[in-house]
């Protein structure tokens, strides 16, 4: 055990010599590149010309309240432009961590200051101490070759934070990213914010960008989301999935009478694929909805307190069958862009 600990400590101190898979030598060995990626960021204010952030587009997606006065970790910070941006937005403390020693040196030269700290470390190292932060940036790192165990790193970083900004890579399917964020991040909310510009590739539509948090929301978010998206040209398909007794039919009736849903088709428990596919603006309430709709934009999971649920069933024998049907339903599939876990009303 002490040899293992000593090995991990050595790795933490000298990541540039790291050859991965320290835990089991039976696994194949992946060599990590070091000192190869030192010109990633542009910073016109310092006459630095790099590959990205020529237009600062992705920086505009950060919410000030996620950063001002907060402790921020930029995991895979490269030469520190995002760290610097967080300082400008008023972060209390920003830590930039990267495996690439040359990039970290450059970050220190460019952006050292009273509220910044830079660390050369390997996110794969299980003994690398990572303190809790309010906000974690995990931008264009998830798919890089230097990550040996990307999902466990995502899970670990998510566990440290209340808010995470996540950016995928050129060619990444945003629906796949959203699914991975739900599966390994355990967030209450995963919002797809669109594609950010990718100056590295002319042929790219950009990189999928997300904001995730742990704020518990309630059903009032559904009409708000509908209002936000209804004016956009593109189709809008939302699935509100919840167990029997969560109050879906009650909500469907309420929303049908709500002017904010004008122009939106509300389907309650309608298992008709053709109708679902051919309806452009749709809010679908169903315990199966996550499994049979092909392209949901927004997936809302309606959580219900078990005692409330059972109280609603009281004296209704049909409900038991409904519950058994739910148990036979295959698990919800990851086919959405944004996800919201919300609390059902206790009185509804």
Ligand X SMILES: C[S@@+](CC[C@H](N)C(=O)[O-])C[C@H]1O[C@@H](n2cnc3c(N)ncnc32)[C@H](O)[C@@H]1O
- Residue 77 or 284 having the CB closest to ligand X: 77
* Least distance in angstroms from the C-beta of 144 to ligand X: 4
Q: Is 82 in the site for ligand X (CB under 6 A)?
A: yes
Which of the ranges 86-94, 139-147, 223-231, 247-255 carries the binding residues for ligand X, by CB under 6 A? 139-147
Phi and psi at residue 5, to the nearest 5°: -60, -45
Nearer to ligand X by Cβ, of 124 and 286: the residue is 124
Report the 3 state secondary structure along the chain: CHHHHHHHHHHHHCHHHCECCCCCCCCCCCECCCCCCCCCECEHHHCECCCECCCCCHHHHCCHHHHCCCEEEEECCCCCHHHHHHHHCCCCEEEEEECCHHHHHHHHHHHCCCCEEEEECCCCCCCCCCCCCCEEEEECCCCCCCCCCHHHHHHHHHHCCCEEEEECCCCCCHHHHHHHHHHHHCCCEEEEEEEECCCCCCCCCCEEEEEEECCCEECCHHHHHHHHHHCCCCCEEEEEEECCCCCHHHHHHHHHCCHHHCCCEEEECCCCHHHHHHCCEEEEECCCHHHHCCCCCEEEEEECCHHHHHHHHCCCCHHHHHHHHHHHCCCCCCCCCEEEEEECCCCC
Of the candidate spans 92-100, 221-229, 273-281, 311-319, the one that interacts with ligand X by CB under 6 A turns out to be 92-100
Q: Does 30 bind ligand X (CB under 6 A)?
A: no
User: Using CB under 6 A, which of 73, 107, 147, 296 touches ligand X?
Assistant: 147
Is residue 180 involved in binding ligand X (CB under 6 A)? no
Minimum CB distance to ligand X smaller for 5 or for 35? 35
- What is the closest distance, in whole angstroms, from the C-beta atom of residue 110 to ligand X in the complex? 13
Q: What mask of x and - would describe binding to ligand X in positions 304 to 323, judged by CB under 6 A?
A: --------------------
Could you tell me which stretch among 34-42, 208-216, 277-285, 291-299 binds ligand X (CB under 6 A)? 34-42
List 43, 66, 146, 191, residue binding ligand X (CB under 6 A): 146
Minimum CB–partner distance for residue 337 and ligand X (Å): 21
Residues 109-128 that bind ligand X (CB under 6 A): 122-124
# residues near ligand X by CB under 6 A? 21
- Exactly one of 11, 12, 22, 40 binds ligand X (CB under 6 A); that residue is 40
Q: Does 140 bind ligand X (CB under 6 A)?
A: yes
Q: Which is nearer to ligand X, 144 or 155 (CB)?
A: 144
The stretch among 71-79, 111-119, 158-166, 257-265 that binds ligand X (CB under 6 A) is 71-79
Quick count: other Cβ atoms within 10 Å of Cβ 134? 18
Q: Which of 11, 86, 107, 141 binds ligand X (CB under 6 A)?
A: 141
Q: Does residue 139 belong to the site contacting ligand X (CB under 6 A)?
A: yes
Residue 103 binds ligand X, judged by CB under 6 A: yes
| Torsion angles phi and psi, residue 171, rounded to 5 | 85, -5
Measuring CA to CA, how many Å separate 289 from each of 216, 283, 335? 22, 10, 11
Instruction: List residues binding ligand X (CB under 6 A).
Output: 37, 40-41, 52, 76-78, 82, 98-100, 103, 122-124, 139-141, 144, 146-147
């Amino acid at each position: 055990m002490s040899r293992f600990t000593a090995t991990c400590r050595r790795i933490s101190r000298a990541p540039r010599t790291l050859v991965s898979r320290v835990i089991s030598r039976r696994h194949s060995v992946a060599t990590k590149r070091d000192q190869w990626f030192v010109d990633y960021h542009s910073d016109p204010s310092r006459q630095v010309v790099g590959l990205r952030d020529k237009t600062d587009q992705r920086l505009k997606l950060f919410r000030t309240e996620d950063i001002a006065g907060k402790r921020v970790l930029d995991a895979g910070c490269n030469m520190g432009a995002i760290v610097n941006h967080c300082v400008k937005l008023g972060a209390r403390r920003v830590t930039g961590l990267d495996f690439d020693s040359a990039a970290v040196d450059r970050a220190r030269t460019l952006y050292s200051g009273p509220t910044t700290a830079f660390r050369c470390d390997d996110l794969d190292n299980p003994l690398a101490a990572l303190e809790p932060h309010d906000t974690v940036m995990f931008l264009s790192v998830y798919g890089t070759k230097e990550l040996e165990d990307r999902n466990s790193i995502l899970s670990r970083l998510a566990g440290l934070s209340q808010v995470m900004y996540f950016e995928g890579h050129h060619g990444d399917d945003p629906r796949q990213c959203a699914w991975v964020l739900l599966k390994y991040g355990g967030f209450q909310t995963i919002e797809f914010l669109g594609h950010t510009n990718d100056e590295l590739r002319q042929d790219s539509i950009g990189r999928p960008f997300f904001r995730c948090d742990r704020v518990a929301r309630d059903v009032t978010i559904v009409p708000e989301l509908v209002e936000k998206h209804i004016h956009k040209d593109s189709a809008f398909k939302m699935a509100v999935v919840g167990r029997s007794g969560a109050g879906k039919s009650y909500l469907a009736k309420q929303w049908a009478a709500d002017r904010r849903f004008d122009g939106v088709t509300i389907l309650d428990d309608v298992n008709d694929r053709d109708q679902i596919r051919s309806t452009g603006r749709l809010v679908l309430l169903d315990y199966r909805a996550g499994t049979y709709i092909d392209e949901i934009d927004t997936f809302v999971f309606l959580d219900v307190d078990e005692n409330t649920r059972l109280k609603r069933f009281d004296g209704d024998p049909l409900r038991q069958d409904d519950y058994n049907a739910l148990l036979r339903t295959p698990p919800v599939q990851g086919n959405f862009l944004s996800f919201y876990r919300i609390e059902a009303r206790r009185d509804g």
